[in-house]
Chains A and B, each alone.
Chain A
Amino acid sequence: MADWADLPMDILVVIAQSLTLIEDFTSFTAVCKEWKSVTSILKKKPSLPTRYPRIMLAEKIDTEDQENRGDQDASVRCFLNLLASKTYQLQLPEASGRNCRGAHYGWLWTIGIDLQINLLHPFSRQQICLPPMLTFPDQYEYDETFKPQEVWDFFVRKIAMSSNPRKEKSSHDYNEDCTIVAIYGEFAILAFTKLGDTVWTNISVHSRVYQDIIFYNGKFYAVDVHGVVVVCDFDDANGPIATIIAPAPVETSDLYQKYLVESSGHLLLVSRLRKGLLFDDDDDDDDEDDNDDDDDVEEEDDVNDEEEGDDNEDDKGDVDGDDNVDEVEDAEDIDKEEEKKARYYTTGFSVLRLDECHEEGNNYAYRLTEVTSLGDQALFLGSNVSTSIASSECIKPNCIYFTDDNCELYLNEPGGGGHDMGIFNMEDGTIQLNYAGESRSYISPPLWCI
């Protein structure tokens, strides 16, 4: 009778290559030494997604107690599990000093002052190059005093992918069928590229200031600051174009940041409500307005010299993992003072669902319906590709987990961005902190790694 323990090594390799989540892959290596040696045959760790999202904390650039770490510190990045009960440290020099945003399938994307844009997988440290920033068609008007190096940290707002960039069963090649759409530039318009291309190409759009993109049901959908949802068509004879599929929501405001996410088989339009010093004043403070982009850019010139390195206010030591958070605490209890000082903080979310609309005489393919419950799903919103995940022992149902993605305002916020994150409960409208420490950055605050 055959014994599983006698499986030849090459079969174990095939099994290891069939694993789909990082947690399972590392469990595999923990079974016994022979199984661990399988991974050395594979040469590289695979670029797999994780079962649960994790928070990648901001870079810790700390002048205290670094004598024994030296330069190593800049290359280490901390990750936090969802319950904020454990921190992990990964070697990730590829992210150091760069603007990192979550993407999808376990990947991040980064952009640096070198204007290079890369997909980065934190676990395997695999990188895939995307066309650099200057290959986007619509650039700012640069001159001697205003260079691309002044806008790199907010030039690209978000990207979405049509599929996992990793090619099946190969850690070397990438998936050539993967299309990537980005929101970019002064006017936050849309462009796309395919893995392997050398430039980004514009998608023709009717409006400006797009705020989110996702890939859903075989197509890319985007939403602008007014809440108008469009779908991208790459097969049009005149070139890629975005067409409107739903009317703008009736009760909304340009001040509410918009997200698109698929949940329970439907497309949801989520609005993020914020308050703070910047929102309590007049129209000039509408941070999504085109004019403000220029204002922010001018401010950049002054602050730029400081931004690049060591003035980040650091967390108060929680990142070392010594402090476990058994219970999350209400934002109100801890941070009343903070809220008064903050330029912006989130107060709530409202959710609309796009329902197909086949009625005669209707101009749009979809209409919007209010949603009061997400069911057993939780949404993860931030700089990442907006995602819905089923509840589990570490994910609460009917909640929205959010991070600070107000990238244009990180420089305005004392200490940098990163404070505006937490868990919003759809049922009672409360917000809880998901991380009691502080992790701030002018460039790259905490983000979801999904």
Chain B
Amino acid sequence: MSSSEERKLILKSSDNEEFVVKESSAVQCLTIKNLVEDRCVSDPIPLANVDSKILALVIEFMEKHAETTLSNSEKKEFDVEFVKKPFDDLLELILAANYLDFRELMDVLCNTCAKQMENWSVEEVREKFNIQNDYTVEEEKAARAENPWAFE
């Protein structure tokens, strides 16, 4: 029997494209790891919520972070370049990371979102995140009074 490092898995995106990945890389996604441990691995593993474009990116990240020869700082450099994508693409990646339960990718993406938000006003955040302000005028005033630091 071959060692787990050599075992491969086939992942299928929602638009039916198949990707071959090493099992040792793929188990960074807890969803996949649980399938493997429970011996519920079908061949290929269907990922109904992730299309091929996003799955390719997830796999790129996954394989980079599974490489034992890379130092932490090299991985961080990769992360910095990896997240240089249009903001809306990050949403798809976050949802995929959530679905796959891929903690490391999730942290990197959420960090990036947080950094972006640091440059935006409250109104801009609402715009980018497509959020309706559901505070009344009084409630907003009260919020400002309670947390004055934000509103210089």
Other-chain residue from A4, A26, A29, A36 in contact with B128 (beta carbon distance below 8 A)? A4
Q: Are A20 and B118 in contact (CB under 8 A)?
A: yes
**A7 pairs with B150, CB closer than 8 A:** no
Complex Cα distance, B126 from A90, in Å, reads: 28
Minimum Cβ distance to chain A for residue B100 (Å): 13
Among A2, A23, A32, A34, point to the contact of B95 (Cβ < 8 A): A2
Name the one of B92, B131, B144 contacting A5, with C-beta atoms under 8 angstroms.
B131
Q: How far is the CA of A40 from the CA of B85 in the complex (A)?
A: 31
How many CB-defined contacts (below 8 Å) exist between A and B? 100
Q: Does B15 contact A (CB under 8 A)?
A: no
Interface positions, chain A 1-26, Cβ under 8 Å from B, are 2-5, 7-8, 10-11, 14-26
Q: Is the CB of B128 within 8 A of A31?
A: no
Q: Which residues of chain A have C-beta atoms less than 8 A from B29's C-beta?
A: none
Contacting pair B140 A30 (CB below 8 A): yes
- In the bound assembly, the distance between CA atoms of A290 and B95 in angstroms comes to 64
Task: Name the residue among B129, B135, B140 with the largest chain A CB count within 10 angstroms.
Answer: B129
What is the 8 Å Cβ interface bit string for chain A, positions 265-294, against chain B (1 contact, 0 not)?
A: 000000000000000000000000000000
Contacts A20-B118, A21-B118 given: A32-B152 contact, CB under 8 Å? no
Interface size class of chain B, counting residues whose CB lies under 8 Å from the partner chain: 35 or more
Q: Are A27 and B148 in contact (CB under 8 A)?
A: no
Q: Write out, one digit per residue, whether chain B residues 109-147 have a CB within 8 A of any chain A CB (1) or not (0).
A: 011011101100110011011111111000010011001
**Other-chain residue from A16, A21, A30, A32 in contact with B147 (beta carbon distance below 8 A):** A30
B106 touches A27 (CB 8 A): no
The reply to whether B125 and A27 contact each other, CB–CB distance below 8 Å, is yes
Task: Tell me whether B94 is interfacial, beta carbon within 8 Å.
Answer: yes
Judging by beta carbons under 8 Å apart, are A23 and B129 in contact?
no
Known: A14-B110, A20-B118. A88 touches B91 (CB 8 A): no
Determine if A14 and B122 form an interchain contact, defined as CB atoms under 8 angstroms apart.
no
Q: Which residues of A contact B125 (CB under 8 A)?
A: 27-28, 31
Given contacts A2-B91, A2-B95, A11-B106, contact A23 B149 (CB under 8 A): yes
Contacts of B92 in A (CB 8 A): 2
- With most chain A CB atoms within 10 A of its CB, the pick from B107, B118, B147, B148 is B147
Query: At the interface, yes or no: A175 with Cβ under 8 Å from chain B?
Result: no
Q: Are A15 and B128 in contact (CB under 8 A)?
A: no
Q: Are the C-beta atoms of B133 and A18 separated by less than 8 Å?
A: no
Secondary structure class of chain B's binding surface, majority of residues: helix
Whether, in the assembled complex, B24 has its beta carbon less than 8 Å from a beta carbon of chain A, the answer is: no
Q: Is A366 an interface residue (CB 8 A)?
A: no
Whether B31 is near chain A, meaning CB under 8 Å from some CB there, is no
- Least Cβ–Cβ distance between A57 and chain B, in angstroms: 14
CA distance A358 to B44 in the complex (A): 64
The verdict on B52 contacting chain A, using a C-beta distance below 8 Å, is no
Bound form: Cα–Cα A62–B20 in Å: 73
> Which one of B107, B134, B140 lies within 8 Å of A14 (CB-CB)?
B107
Q: Are B91 and A19 in contact (CB under 8 A)?
A: no
Asked whether, in the complex, the Cβ of A31 is within 8 Å of the Cβ of B91, the reply is no
Interchain CB contact (< 8 A) of A20 among B114, B122, B140, B150:
B114
Contacts of B133 in A (CB 8 A): 31-32
Neighbour of A31 across the interface among B110, B115, B122, CB < 8 A: B122
A123 within 8 A of B: yes
Look across to chain B and name the residue whose beta carbon is closest to the beta carbon of A50.
Answer: B149
Name the distance in Å between A85's Cβ and chain B's nearest Cβ.
9
A29 touches B130 (CB 8 A): no
The answer to whether B143 touches A31, judged by C-beta atoms less than 8 angstroms apart, is no
- Measured between beta carbons, the chain A residues less than 8 angstroms from B111 are 18
Residues of A within 8 A of B107 (CB): 14, 18
Residues of B within 8 A of A28 (CB): 117, 125
Name the residue on A nearest B150 (C-beta). A26
Partner pick for A23 among B110, B114, B143, B150, CB 8 A cutoff: B150
A residues contacting B by CB (< 8 A) are 2-5, 7-8, 10-11, 14-36, 50, 52, 81, 86, 88, 123, 394
Pick 20 A–B contacts, CB within 8 A, sort by A: A4-B88, A5-B129, A7-B91, A7-B94, A7-B129, A11-B98, A18-B113, A27-B122, A27-B125, A28-B117, A30-B140, A30-B143, A31-B122, A32-B134, A33-B134, A34-B134, A36-B143, A86-B148, A88-B148, A394-B152
**In the A-B complex, the 6 residue pairs with the closest CB atoms:** A26-B150, A18-B114, A26-B147, A4-B129, A88-B148, A14-B110
